[in-house]
Structure 1
Amino acid sequence: MAILPYNELSALFEKSGMTVNEEQYRLLDKYAELLVEYNKVMNLTGITDPLGISEKHFLDSLLIFKLADISENSAVIDVGTGAGFPGVPMKLYRSDLDVTLLDSLNKRINFLEAVSRETLPMTCIHARAEEGGRKNELRERFDIAIARAVAALPVLAEYCMPYVKVGGSFIAMKGPNEDISQGENAVKILGGEISDIINYELPSGDKRVMVIVKKISPTPTKYPRNGGQISKKSL
């Protein structure tokens, strides 16, 4: 068992107004088991204890369902997914979602493909975020693009907004120490508007911010720029 026992995980989720059933628990535990196993030979996460995985990876990822409106059967892309957060827990908790996991590191994609085989089917794509956003088969094809990343909002928006269809949403899951207003101009240029900024915290007291951006018009074709340009001069 790589996460808390079922009754303890249920209690942890209930503190945040969430529930978890036994099938969801089984899938999450299998994922955690693979995460800990693969982490011995590759750097996936610094958090490997059962409480840490349960709260800081799983509950943190899944609070999106309490804080944002994710319609049934939505197509979701997790951009720069890393070890699979939040995209994998989202799929394991809501099997109706069509989840795509995109990451620039092939060994992480190999790990995620193993998780997909052992739990529920997900699409795993090896690509840099700015390259994927220019591909016809991915550009403006998703109801939701999501990222749980340290990049500032103007940078993250340029990586993620090209994937979102008009009427869809880009959701950024962030720490507490960023001036979100600095991303407003970038979001506008890329075809969106910030519709909600939600401050919340985990049971441990760790503070989080969720930024929800609505896509109101197509992203201009010149975006995303290449990675060097994005990091050198954000919008």
Structure 2
Amino acid sequence: MWGSWLQREAAGLGVQLAEEQLARFARYYELLVEKNKVMNLTAITEEKEVYIKHFFDSLTLARVVDLHAVKSWIDVGTGAGFPGIAVKIAFPHLHLVLLDSLKKRVTFLQEVAQELGLTQVECIHGRAEDLGKHPKYRQAFELATARAVARLNVLAEYCLPFVKVGGIFVAMKGTDVSEEMEEAGQALNILGKTTLEVTSFALPENRGGRNLLLMKKRNQTPKAYPRKAGTPSKQPLS
């Protein structure tokens, strides 16, 4: 039932899901709930809620990014794979890096990618502050995303060092973002003369409001950033 619901709602986003992709979403749900019994991946486990608040919510990235035109993408603090795995199912051409600081979650993501037959997915255990300095990953991606709870000025320091000049960072947020946007202005300027646009909408089935904060990077990130692990959250740029 919820597969056909997702197919219909995704079509409204311009995302076409074939039966094979719906089967992958169904299996992803099974793997998520099964693993969640032994480790904390998500507080949301009811099928309806997962399909709306995780799967569909992840696909709303297509509202602001032409994902057909993107090749290289890093999902920072991906957790149980949102939006990374969910969007990868819908757009299998993407070269995706999933980054998370918890080893158990990364192992789960590797298992999911293998079980679902997803290729060109690299699962990395580490911190954004460290990987953002690595020559292989620094300013190497057309797109970075974060669906995390950190404030925008902190997320920006985690994510913008990964983004190429001309590339995009999208922070996927809840309802109230005006204060965050205001306090992040200086950080966005420091980290790449970055522009900021917001797209607001409501999830289906009265499941709450969402905001997609799209940032386009115009300059290179100075070598000093990201600062050492723990510093961005303790001393946010302002």
Shorter-chain TM-score above 0.5: yes
TM-score normalised to structure 1 length? 0.93
CA contact (8 A) 1:16 1:203 kept: no
Aligned residue in 1 for 2:142: 143
SS at match of 1:95: coil
Deviation string, structure 1 residues 35-87 (Cα, Å, up to 9, x no partner):
11111100000111111111100000001112323343511100010101000
Shift of 1:12: 4.1
- 1:58-207 matched pairs, under 5 angstroms: 58-119=55-116, 120-121=118-119, 122-178=121-177, 179=179, 180-205=181-206, 206-207=208-209
Query: Identity over aligned residues, as a percent?
Result: 44
AA aligned opposite 1:133: G
| Contact 1:140/1:163, CA 8 A, preserved across alignment | yes
Report the alpha carbon displacement of residue 204 of structure 1 after superposing the two structures with TM.
Answer: 2.8
Q: What is the letter of the counterpart of residue 202 of structure 2?
A: E
SS of 1:204's equivalent in the other structure is helix
What letter corresponds to residue 186 of structure 1 in structure 2?
A
Distance 1:73 1:171, change over 3 A: closer
Distance 1:79 1:109 in 2: 12
- For 1:185, the aligned partner's letter is Q
CA gap 1:14/1:71 in 2 versus in 1, 3 angstroms: closer
Which contiguous aligned blocks of 4+ residues in structure 1 show a shift greater than 6 angstroms?
none
Unaligned runs of 5+ in 1: none
Decide which moves more: 65-74 or 167-176. Answer: 65-74
Return the alpha-carbon distance in structure 1 between the equivalents of residues 61 and 70 of structure 2.
Answer: 15
8-17 or 158-167: bigger deviation: 8-17
Q: Quick check: 8-17 or 209-218, which moved more?
A: 8-17
SS, match of residue 69 in structure 2? coil
CA distance in 1, matches of 2:2, 2:83: 21
C-alpha contact 1:191 1:218 (8 A) present in aligned 2: yes
Q: Which is further off, 190-199 or 31-40?
A: 190-199
Q: Would you say 1:230 and 2:229 are equivalent positions?
A: no
Q: Give the alignment's TM-score, normalised by structure 2.
A: 0.92
RMSD across aligned C-alpha pairs, in angstroms?
1.6
Task: Determine if contact 1:72/1:97 at 8 Å carries over to the other structure.
Answer: no
**Which consecutive unaligned segments of at least 5 residues does structure 2 have?**
none
| Letter in structure 2 aligned against 1:137 | K
Partner of 1:214: 216
The 10-residue stretch of structure 1 (96-105 or 24-33) with the greater mean CA deviation from structure 2: 24-33
